[in-house]
A and B are shown apart, each in its own frame.
Chain A
Amino acid sequence: MDYQHVQVPFEITLWIMLASLAKIAFHLYNKLPSVVPESCLLIFVGLIMGGIIYGLNDKSPPVMDSDIFFLYLLPPIVLDAGYFMPSRPFFENIGTILLYAVVGTIWNVFGIGFSLYGICQVKSFHLQDISLLHNLLFGSLIAAVDPVAVLSVFEEIHVNEKLHILVFGESLLNDAVSVVLYKLFRSFCEMSTIKTVDVFAGIGKFFVVGIGGVLVGLLFGMIAAFTTRFTKNIRVIEPLFVFLYSYLSYLTAEMFHLSGIVAIIACAMGMKRYVEANISLKSHTTIKYFLKMWSSVSDTLIFIFLGVSTIGDNHEWSWSYICFTIIFCLIWRALGVLVLTFFVNRLHVNTVTSKDQFIIAYGGLRGAICFSLVFLLPEFPRKKLFIAATTVVILFTVFVQGMTIRPLVDLLDVKRKRESAPTVGEQIHIRFLDHLLAGIEDISGHWGQYYWKDKLEYFNSKYLQKFLLREYDQPKSSIVLLYEKLERKHAIELVEAGQLIHEPSHTSLLVFVDSHRSTVVVKESDSMNPDVLENIQKILSRNLYRIRRTVPAYNRHNLPGESGTAEQAKEILILRHRSLR
C-alpha cells in the first residue's frame, strides 16, 4: 500500500466528502435547517472532528492555512455572489452600501480599538502590555462583517431585497477598507516611529486599493467578454473562460496588494451582461451550476475548518478581554448603523426603517476572514489571546446571532421577500405608475440617478456593444437575436420550473421585424384557471411596453438593457397618430 503517494489529494477529497455528507445529513431531517442555520451545524461538526483528532493524536489538529483560505476557498464564494448579484438593487443602493462599508468599517475599527485600549488600562485585568497599536490592529481584523457568514445566514431568512442587498453589499465591499487598515496597522507595528506622512499615505492607499481593485476587475471582465465573442465554435470551454478570468482578476489584485474581493465582484458584474449574450444556453447553465457547487463546497469546508481549528493549544484565555470584545463589537456596530442611517435617511426618499436598521446591526456577523487574518499576525506575546478572542467572537456571532436572527425577523415583522408573484392587477398598476412617473420626470426635467443610467446605456450601446458582442455588424438583427435568445431562455426556465404547459412561441416586442403571432389561446370561459393565468402573465411580461426609465422594482426575469426602444417608440407613435385622427 502506497499511502504516501496519494496522501495529499486523498485527504483533501476525504474532507470534501465529509463536508458534503454532513450537508446531506442536515437536510434529511427537515426541521433542523429552519431552527439552526447550516453554518452552526457545520462548525459543530468541525468541533467534533477537531475533538476526535485531538484525542487521537494528542496534539493540535491542522489549523486552516490562511493561504488555502484566501487563495482557494474564498474566491468561489465571492465569484458566485458577484455573478448572481442583482445589479439593479445593488446600484440603486450603492451610496448607502458604500457609506456603511467604508465609513461604518472605519468607525467600527477605531471604536473597538480605542475602547479595548481603554479596557487594557484597567490594572486589575492584567492586560497592560497590549499597546494601542495592537488593539487597533485587533480592531481592524475583528470589525469587518464577513460575506460568507452573512450569505449563509441571510439566505435562509428571506428578508426583503433591499435589506438583503444592504447587508450583503456592505459585507463584500468592506474588504477593501479592512485590508488597508489591517496592513497599515501591521506595518506600523513593525516600524519604530510613525510619522504623520505615514498616516496620510495610509489614507491614500485606501483609495488606491479600492479603486484599483475595481479597475483590475473591470479590465479582466472586458477581456473575458471580448474572448467570448469568438467562442462560437468551441462552446464546450466557454464556462472555463468565465472562471479563469475571474480568478485571474482576483489573483492579480492580490498580487498588487489591492482588494481581491472588490476586483472579482467588479469583474463578474462587468462581464456578465456581455458574456450572457455571447455564450450558449448550455454554457450559461453550466456556469450557474458550477459556481453554486463550488461556492457550496467552499462554504462548507470553511465552517468545518473553523470548528476544527478551534480545538487546540492556540488559545490564551482572558475573561475580561474577550467579554469586552464581544460587547464592544455589538455596541459599536449598533451605534455606527444608527448614526449612518440617520444621514442616509436625510438624503433619500427610500428610507431605511428602524426595523431594518436593527437587522442590519444585528446581522453584522463575523466569520472566517477574521479568523484567517488573526493567524497571519506576526508572532508577539499576546497573539494567542487575540486568537482566542477572535474565535469566541466568531462563534458568538454565528451561533447566537445566527440562530436568533430568524425568530427576531419574525417577531419584529420585518418586511419579507415577496414569496408570491404579483397579481395581474398589481403588475398592470406597477407598470402604469412607472410610465406615469417617467412622464412626470420628463416634464419636470428631473435628472436623477436615471440620468446617469441613461448615459451609461448610451455609452454601452454606442461603443461597448460593438466591441464585445458577437455579430454586431448588423445592429438590428443582433438586437433581435438577443431578444429571442433571452425570451427562449426565459421560456425554458418556466418550462423547467413546471409552470408553462404550452409551447413557448417566438413573440417579441419587435413587431415590424418578427412576424410570428402569439400561438397562445386564452380560454374566455374560465378566468380563474391557473393555465389561463400563466398565459396572461406570459403575455403581459412580453408585451407590456418597456418604460424608458424604471422605478425600483426588481424582477429577476426582466430583460436587461433598453434595446428595442426604437421599435417600441415607433409603435406607440403610430397608435397615437391613429387615435388622434
Chain B
Amino acid sequence: MRDGLSELPPIRDPQSGADHAGDGLKYDLQGIGALAVNPLGDRIINAFFREGEEFTDFRAFMRVLARFRPVEEGKSKETGYPEPMNSRLSKLQFAFQLYDQDSDGKISRAEMLQVLRLMVGIQVTDEQLACIADRTIQEADQDGDGAISFEEFATSVEKLNIEQRMSLRMLK
C-alpha cells in the first residue's frame, strides 16, 4: 500500500474540520450535503469505517479511495503478488461488500430488497419491489440457492465496463 498512498495526489480533506487532528469523524462525512441526499450515502460512509467504530484514519480512508484508481493497462498479471487494489476484481469485491452487509459472501433476497428499497422511490409498493428483487436474483443465480454469490455477481456484471465505471480519473 506504500505505493498507492504516496502516489495519490493531495485532495481536499473533508476531515479537515475535525476536532481530532488526523482522525476522521463519521460525523464529518455525514455532514457532506451532497452525500446526505445520495440514496447509498450511509453505506458508502460506512465503507470507510471499521465495524462499529466512529473514527477512521487517513490510511483507511485512502485504502477505500485506492479502489477507484483507474486500471493500468499493460501491467502483466504476476502470480504470487497480491491482487492490486484497483484491479477489476478488487473493485467488484468492494461493490459486492456494499450489497452484502452481513458479509456472509452472498447477497440474499432480503439484502437485495434493502438495496432496492434504498434506490427506488416510495411510489413502488412492496410487492412490486419483491417481484423486481426476485427477478434480479433469478437472472443472476446459477446454482439455484436463491442468493447471489460473488462469482454470480461478477458474471452478471461482466458486460458492464467495470474498470471504467469505477474509476476516478483524478486518482490516476
B1 proximal to A (CB < 8 A): no
B89 proximal to A (CB < 8 A): no
Determine if A532 and B160 form an interchain contact, defined as CB atoms under 8 angstroms apart: no
Determine if A527 and B41 form an interchain contact, defined as CB atoms under 8 angstroms apart: no
B135 proximal to A (CB < 8 A): yes
Instruction: Give CA–CA (A426, B77) in the complex, Å.
Output: 28
Interface residues of A, dominant DSSP: helix
The contact of B44 among A428, A440, A522, A543, by CB within 8 Å, is A440
Determine if A548 and B38 form an interchain contact, defined as CB atoms under 8 angstroms apart: yes
B122 proximal to A (CB < 8 A): yes
The contact of B122 among A423, A432, A439, A571, by CB within 8 Å, is A571
Determine if A348 and B169 form an interchain contact, defined as CB atoms under 8 angstroms apart: yes
CB distance from B79 to the nearest CB of A (A): 25
Determine if B156 and A543 form an interchain contact, defined as CB atoms under 8 angstroms apart: no
Instruction: Give CA–CA (A349, B73) in the complex, Å.
Output: 10
- Determine which residue in A426, A448, A551 has the highest number of CB atoms from chain B within 10 A of its CB, and name it: A426
B34 proximal to A (CB < 8 A): yes
Check A425/B140 contact, CB under 8 A, given A524-B130, A533-B135.
yes
Chain B residues with Cβ under 8 A from A244's Cβ? Answer: none
Chain B residues with Cβ under 8 A from A443's Cβ? Answer: 14, 29, 32, 35, 44, 65
Determine if B159 and A426 form an interchain contact, defined as CB atoms under 8 angstroms apart: yes
Check A445/B14 contact, CB under 8 A, given A511-B121, A539-B124.
yes
Which among A187-195, A274-282, A572-580 touches the partner chain? A572-580
- Determine which residue in A433, A439, A446 has the highest number of CB atoms from chain B within 10 A of its CB, and name it: A439
Check A433/B132 contact, CB under 8 A, given A517-B123, A568-B121.
no
Chain B residues with Cβ under 8 A from A518's Cβ? Answer: 123-125, 128
CB contact list, B1-37 vs A, under 8 A: 11-12, 14, 29, 32, 34-37
Instruction: Give CA–CA (A138, B42) in the complex, Å.
Output: 63
B168 proximal to A (CB < 8 A): yes
CB contact list, A403-436 vs B, under 8 A: 422-426, 428-436
Determine if B12 and A445 form an interchain contact, defined as CB atoms under 8 angstroms apart: yes
Chain B residues with Cβ under 8 A from A440's Cβ? Answer: 44, 65, 68, 168
Instruction: Give CA–CA (A179, B70) in the complex, Å.
Output: 39
A509 proximal to B (CB < 8 A): yes
Instruction: Give CA–CA (A440, B132) in the complex, Å.
Output: 27
A544 proximal to B (CB < 8 A): yes
Chain A residues with Cβ under 8 A from B65's Cβ? Answer: 440, 443-444
Chain B residues with Cβ under 8 A from A434's Cβ? Answer: 165
Determine if A437 and B166 form an interchain contact, defined as CB atoms under 8 angstroms apart: yes
Determine if B134 and A425 form an interchain contact, defined as CB atoms under 8 angstroms apart: no
The contact of B115 among A432, A507, A527, A551, by CB within 8 Å, is A432
Instruction: Give CA–CA (A429, B91) in the complex, Å.
Output: 13
Interface bin, chain B: 35 or more
B90 proximal to A (CB < 8 A): no
The contact of A511 among B123, B131, B162, by CB within 8 Å, is B123
Chain A residues with Cβ under 8 A from B130's Cβ? Answer: 524
The contact of B132 among A439, A540, A545, by CB within 8 Å, is A540
Instruction: Give CA–CA (A61, B99) in the complex, Å.
Output: 70
A562 proximal to B (CB < 8 A): no
Return the CB mask of A347-373 against B: 1 if under 8 Å, else 0: 011110000000000000000000000
CB contact list, B35-84 vs A, under 8 A: 35-42, 44, 65, 68, 70, 73
Instruction: Give CA–CA (A348, B71) in the complex, Å.
Output: 12
Determine if B140 and A532 form an interchain contact, defined as CB atoms under 8 angstroms apart: no
Chain A residues with Cβ under 8 A from B118's Cβ? Answer: 575
Determine if A428 and B119 form an interchain contact, defined as CB atoms under 8 angstroms apart: yes
B142 proximal to A (CB < 8 A): no
Instruction: Give CA–CA (A547, B124) in the complex, Å.
Output: 18
B143 proximal to A (CB < 8 A): no
- Determine which residue in A424, A425, A426, A432 has the highest number of CB atoms from chain B within 10 A of its CB, and name it: A425
B167 proximal to A (CB < 8 A): yes
Determine if A433 and B166 form an interchain contact, defined as CB atoms under 8 angstroms apart: yes
Instruction: Give CA–CA (A428, B137) in the complex, Å.
Output: 11
Check A569/B132 contact, CB under 8 A, given A443-B32, A509-B121, A524-B127.
no
CB distance from A265 to the nearest CB of B (A): 27
Determine if A544 and B119 form an interchain contact, defined as CB atoms under 8 angstroms apart: yes
- Determine which residue in A348, A350, A444, A532 has the highest number of CB atoms from chain B within 10 A of its CB, and name it: A444
Determine if A507 and B123 form an interchain contact, defined as CB atoms under 8 angstroms apart: yes
A36 proximal to B (CB < 8 A): no
CB distance from B152 to the nearest CB of A (A): 10
Instruction: Give CA–CA (A518, B36) in the complex, Å.
Output: 28
Chain B residues with Cβ under 8 A from A351's Cβ? Answer: 73
Chain A residues with Cβ under 8 A from B128's Cβ? Answer: 518, 520, 522, 536, 539
A438 proximal to B (CB < 8 A): yes
Chain B residues with Cβ under 8 A from A568's Cβ? Answer: 37, 121
The contact of A430 among B37, B115, B136, B160, by CB within 8 Å, is B160
Chain B residues with Cβ under 8 A from A430's Cβ? Answer: 160, 165
Chain B residues with Cβ under 8 A from A446's Cβ? Answer: 11, 168, 170
Determine if B135 and A527 form an interchain contact, defined as CB atoms under 8 angstroms apart: yes
A473 proximal to B (CB < 8 A): no
Q: A437-B166, A440-B68 are in contact. List 20 more A-B contacts (CB 8 A).
A: A349-B164, A425-B156, A428-B136, A432-B98, A435-B119, A437-B168, A441-B168, A442-B34, A444-B65, A444-B171, A445-B11, A445-B14, A446-B11, A448-B170, A511-B121, A518-B125, A536-B131, A545-B119, A551-B165, A572-B39
In the A-B complex, the 3 residue pairs with the smallest Cβ-Cβ separation, listed nearest first, are A445-B12, A569-B37, A439-B44
5 contacting pairs across A/B (C-beta < 8 A): A424-B136, A432-B119, A443-B14, A446-B11, A507-B123
Residues of chain A whose beta carbon lies under 8 Å from any beta carbon of chain B = 348-351, 422-426, 428-446, 448, 507, 509, 511, 517-518, 520, 522, 524, 527-528, 532-533, 536, 539-540, 543-545, 547-548, 551-552, 568-569, 571-573, 575-576
Residues of chain B whose beta carbon lies under 8 Å from any beta carbon of chain A = 11-12, 14, 29, 32, 34-42, 44, 65, 68, 70, 73, 95, 98-99, 115-116, 118-125, 127-128, 130-132, 134-136, 138-140, 156-157, 159-160, 162, 164-172
